[in-house]
Amino acid sequence: MVPLSYYLVLSGILFACGVAGFLIKRNIITIFMSIELMLNGVNLSFVAFAAHWHALAGQIFVFFVMVVAAAEAAVGLAIIIAVYRTRETLNVDQVNLLKL
Amino acid sequence: MTSSLNLWLIPVLPLAGAAINGLLGKRSSRTAVSIIGLFFSGAAFAWALSVAWRVSPAALPYPEYIAHWIRSGSFSADFALYLDQLSLIMLLVVTGVGFLIHIYSVGYMWDDPSYYRFFTYLNLFMFFMLTLVLANNYLLMFIGWEGVGLASYLLIGFWFTKDSAASAGKKAFIVNRIGDFGFLIGLFLIIQHFHSLNFTQVFEQVRPYTAEANGAGFLTAIGILLMVGACGKSAQIPLYVWLPDAMEGPTPVSALIHAATMVTAGVYMVSRSHMIFERAPIALTVVAVIGTLTALFAATIGITQTDIKKVLAYSTVSQLGYMFMACGVGAFSAGIFHLMTHAFFKGLLFLAAGSVIHAVGGEQDMRKMGGLRSYIPWTFLTMGIATLAIAGFPPFAGFWSKDEILWQAYSSPHGKVFWLIGLITAFITSFYMFRLLFMTFFGDYHGAQVDEHGHGSHGHGHDDHGHGEPHESPMVMLAPLMILALLSVIGGLVGIGNRFEHFLEPVFGSGVSEAAGEAASGFTEYLLMGISVVVALLGFGLAYLFYVSQPLLPQKIAASLNGFYTTILNKYYVDEIYAKLFVKPLLDGSTSILWQGVDRKVIDDTVNNAADGARHVSDEVRHMQSGNLRSYAGWIAAGSAVVIAYMIWMGVR
C-alpha cells in the first residue's frame, strides 16, 4: 500500500505548481487551468486522507469541490470569452481597466 | 449664654449683595446697584453693631456652629464661627470702615462704565474678609484668606485694559501665593502635631508647652511659617513689593483693601495665633525684626515718592511693620490697637487722596499739585487731621496707638533697639506725611495745564467732565471723610488707661502688660511720650522747612546725596534685584529647559516622531497595494506559506 505521505507530497507538488502557474503566467486561460490544478491538488489530499482514516467526509467534500469547480469553469470560461471579445487579448496585465 | 447671635448673617449679607449685583447688576441702573451694594454692607455693619451691643463680655468667646464641612477620621473642620473680643474689634473695623468706603465709592466710581462690577467685588471682598475674621479654625480662615486675595486681585486689576493694572494684579497674586505657601505648610505642621485646626483645640494643646522648653522646636517652625504667610498678606519684607504696585486699583480699593482691612489680616492671624508665638521666642523675634525693619525701610522709600498714592502705600507698609513690631515684642493688644486706629486714619488718608485725585482730574503726581487748600477745603481739613493722626500728634488716634507700641517695645526685655528704630521711623513718617500735605495743599497750583496732557493715562475711571480748576468732591464722598476724620481724632481715646488692653485681656491674657504695668515706670512712660511728640514735631518742622519756607532746599540736598538719593528714589532697587534673582532665572529656566527642552524636545518631538515614523512606514507599505491582482495573490501565497511553515515548525516541536 502506498503510504499517505506520498499522496500528500504529490498533492503539495500539484498545489505548488498551481500557485506558481497562477503567479507567473499571463495568459488568462493558463491561470484558469492553474486554479483547477490547485483545486485538484487539494482534492487529492482529501481523498488520500479519507482513504487513510476510513472517513467518508473527505470524499463527499471532493464531490462538492468538483461541482463548484465545474460551475466555476462554466462561468469563468464565459467571462474569458466575453473579455476576449471586448479586449481582443487574453493577457491579464492588459485587462486593467479598474486599476488606478 | 445669650440667645443665638446669628453671626452667620454678617458674612452672608455682603455675599448676597455680591450675588445680586453680580448677576443682575449689568442690566440695573446705577442707583439700584448702589442701593444694593450699600444696603448689604450697611446691614452687615448694623448686624455687627447689634451683636456687639447684645453680647455680654461673659458670653465670650461665643462659638457658632453652622454646618459640618470636612470629617476625615479624627480630623474635622467645620463651617463654624468664633466670636471673642479680638474678632469683635476686627468685625466692627471691617464692617464700619468698609461701609464708609462703600458710600464713598458711590461718588468716586459713579462715572465708571463697570460700576456694578466694582460693587460686586467690593461686597465679595467683605464676605471673605468677614469669613477670615470670624472663622473658628485655620482652614476656614484660610478660605477667607485666599478669598480676600482673590478680591484684591480682581480690584487691583479692575481697569484691566490698562496693562500696568493687569500686571500689578498678577504681581499681587503671585507674591501672595509665596506667602500662602508658608502659611499652608504651617497649617500642615499644626495638623501633624495637634490633629486639629480648630483654634480652641490647638491652643488648648499648645498651652502646656513653655517658652523655655526646648522640646517645642516645631512651635518655632510653625510660628515662622505662619509669619511667612503674614508677610505675604500684610506686605512685609521680603514680600512687600506687591503693595505699592497695588495702587493701580481704584482709590477706594486702596483704602479698603490695601490699607484698612485686608493687609491687616496678617497681623490678625499672628495675634490670633499668639498662643503659639508666645511659646516660640525665636519666631517672635523674627516677627519683631521683620516688622521693625519693614517699618524703617518702607518709611525711607516714602520720603522720595512723588505719586500721592505711592507715598501712602509705603506708609501703609511701614505702619504694618509697626503692628508686627508690637506683636513681636509680645504686645499683641497694642498691635491690634494700632491696627484699628490705622484703619481709621489710613483709610481716611486714601479716601482724601482719592478726593484730591478726583479734584485735579486724575492726576496723581504731587509735583503737579500744590495750593489745593483753597480749592478743596474739606478734603484739606480731613486729610490734615489724618496726617496729624499718623504723625503721632496728641490727642489724635495715631498718637495713642503708636506710643503704646513704642512703650511696649521699650519695656520689653531686648526691645530698646526696636524702640529706637521705631522712633526714627516715627520721625520719618511725620516728615513724609507733612511733605505730602505741603506739596499737595500749600504753595502754588502747578496743575492748570492738567487737561491738556496726562489726563487719559491716569484718569481712566474718574469723572471726565473737563474741569479747568480743581473742585471739591460731592457730599457722598465728603461725608465718609468727615466720619473717619472724627474717628481719627477720638478713636485713640479708648486706649487711655489701658482700657483697650483690658478689653482684649480675655484673649491675650494679662501677661503682656506685666512689664508695662509696673507702677515705677510711670515717669519713663511720660518721658517716652514726650520724646515721640518732639520727634513728630521735628518731622513737621523739617517738612515745613523743606517744602514751604525753603522749597529749593530739597533739590540741593538730594543733589549732594546723589547716589544715596537715587537708590532710595528707585526703592532700593528691590524690584530690580528680585527680577534678577528670581524672575529672570525662572523665566530663563522656563524658556530654555521647560519650553525648549522638555516641551519642544521631549513632548512635541515624541508626537512628531511618532507621526513621521507612521508616514515613513506607510510610504514603504503602500507599494504593496499596487492594484495588480497577481501580486496580491503572490502576497497571499507567501503569507500562507509563512503560516504553514510556522505551523509545521510548531508541530514538529
What integer is the mean pLDDT of B66-85?
87
The residue of chain B with its CA nearest to that of A38 is B637
- Give the orientation angle of helix B475-490 with respect to helix B85-108, to 10 degrees: 150
C-beta atoms of B628 and A23 within 8 A: no
What integer is the mean pLDDT of B572-596?
88
Which residues on adjacent β-strands are paired with residue A27? A91
Cα angle, residue A52 at apex, residues A50 and A54 outer, rounded to 5°: 60
Q: How far apart are CA B329 and CA B417, in angstroms?
A: 11
Range(s) of the domain holding residue A13? 4-94
Entry pTM: 0.78
In a domain? residue A99: no
C-beta atoms of B630 and A92 within 8 A: yes
**What 3-state class would DSSP assign to B331?**
coil
CB neighbour class for B643 (10 Å; exposed up to 12, middle 13-18, buried from 19): exposed
The CA distance from B645 to the nearest CA of chain A, in Å, is 13
What pLDDT, on the 0 to 100 scale, is given for residue A92?
81
The CA distance from B630 to the nearest CA of chain A, in Å, is 6
Q: How far apart are CA B394 and CA B384, in angstroms?
A: 14
**B510-553: pLDDT as tens digits:** 554 444 444 446 777 788 888 888 988 998 988 888 888 877 77
What pLDDT, on the 0 to 100 scale, is given for residue B583?
87
Q: What CATH number should be reported for the domain holding residue A57? A: 1.10.287.3510
Q: How far apart are CA B607 and CA B589, in angstroms?
A: 23
**Lowest model confidence (mean pLDDT) among A33-37, A47-51, B329-333, B569-573:** B569-573
Q: How far apart are CA B334 and CA B325, in angstroms?
A: 10
What are the backbone dihedrals phi and psi of residue B166, each rounded to the nearest 5 degrees, phi first?
Answer: -60, -45
Amino acid at B470: P
Residue A22 with chain B: CB contacts under 8 Å: 630, 633, 637
Q: How far apart are CA B22 and CA B13, in angstroms?
A: 14
Helix (H) or strand (E) holding B65: strand B62-72
In a domain? residue A65: yes
Q: How far apart are CA A26 and CA B630, in angstroms?
A: 9
In a domain? residue A100: no
The CA distance from B614 to the nearest CA of chain A, in Å, is 24
The residue of chain A with its CA nearest to that of B630 is A23
pLDDT at position B455 over 50: no
Domain count, chain A: 1
Best A22, A26, A34, A94 residue to mutate vs chain B (most B CBs within 10 Å)? A22
C-beta atoms of A99 and B627 within 8 A: yes
**What 3-state class would DSSP assign to A64?**
helix
From residue B359, alpha-carbon distances to A85, B185, B312, B465 in Å are 104, 47, 18, 11
Torsion of CA B536, B540, B546, B548, to 10 degrees: 180
What pLDDT, on the 0 to 100 scale, is given for residue A75?
94
Cis peptide leading into residue B61 (ω within 30°): yes
ipTM: 0.72
**B49-65: pLDDT as tens digits:** 999 888 877 777 888 88
Cβ-defined contacts of B563-568 (< 8 Å, 24+): B565/B304, B568/B300, B568/B301, B568/B303, B568/B304
pLDDT at position B235 over 70: yes
Contact B399, B389 (CB under 8 A): yes
Considering only CB atoms, which residues of chain A are within 8 Å of chain B? 19, 22-23, 92-93, 96, 98-100
C-alpha cell belonging to residue B59 = 458670653
Centre a 10 Å sphere on the Cβ of residue A94 and count the other Cβ atoms it contains.
Answer: 12
Contact B175, B242 (CB under 8 A): yes
User: What string of DSSP letters covers B8-40?
Assistant: THHHHHHHHHHHHHHHHGGGS-HHHHHHHHHHH
A:B CB pairs within 8 Å: 17
Q: How far apart are CA B286 and CA B596, in angstroms?
A: 41
Nearest-CA neighbor of B198 among B65, B85, B330? Answer: B65
What pLDDT, on the 0 to 100 scale, is given for residue B652?
66
Task: Look at B462 and A100; give whichever has higher pLDDT.
Answer: A100
Amino acid at B150: L
Q: How far apart are CA B546 and CA B554, in angstroms?
A: 6
Cα angle, residue B189 at apex, residues B183 and B194 outer, rounded to 5°: 125
Average pLDDT, rounded, for chain B: 86
From residue B650, alpha-carbon distances to A23, B638, B646, B647, B653 in Å are 28, 18, 6, 5, 5
**What 3-state class would DSSP assign to B563?**
helix
Contact B282, B217 (CB under 8 A): no
In a domain? residue A45: yes
The CA distance from B640 to the nearest CA of chain A, in Å, is 11
Q: How far apart are CA B21 and CA B40, in angstroms?
A: 11
What pLDDT, on the 0 to 100 scale, is given for residue B218?
85
The CA distance from B632 to the nearest CA of chain A, in Å, is 9
In a domain? residue A73: yes
What are the backbone dihedrals phi and psi of residue B63, each rounded to the nearest 5 degrees, phi first?
Answer: -90, 150
Cis peptide leading into residue B238 (ω within 30°): yes
**Lowest model confidence (mean pLDDT) among B129-138, B271-280, B347-356, B565-574:** B565-574
What integer is the mean pLDDT of B159-180?
92
Q: How far apart are CA B246 and CA B5, in angstroms?
A: 36
Q: How far apart are CA B107 and CA B462, in angstroms?
A: 10
**B273-331: pLDDT as tens digits:** 988 888 888 888 999 999 999 999 999 998 888 899 999 999 999 999 999 999 999 88
What pLDDT, on the 0 to 100 scale, is given for residue B463?
42
- Residue B403 — very low, low, confident or very high, per pLDDT cuts 50/70/90? confident
Facing B633 at nearest CB: one of A22, A99, A100: A22
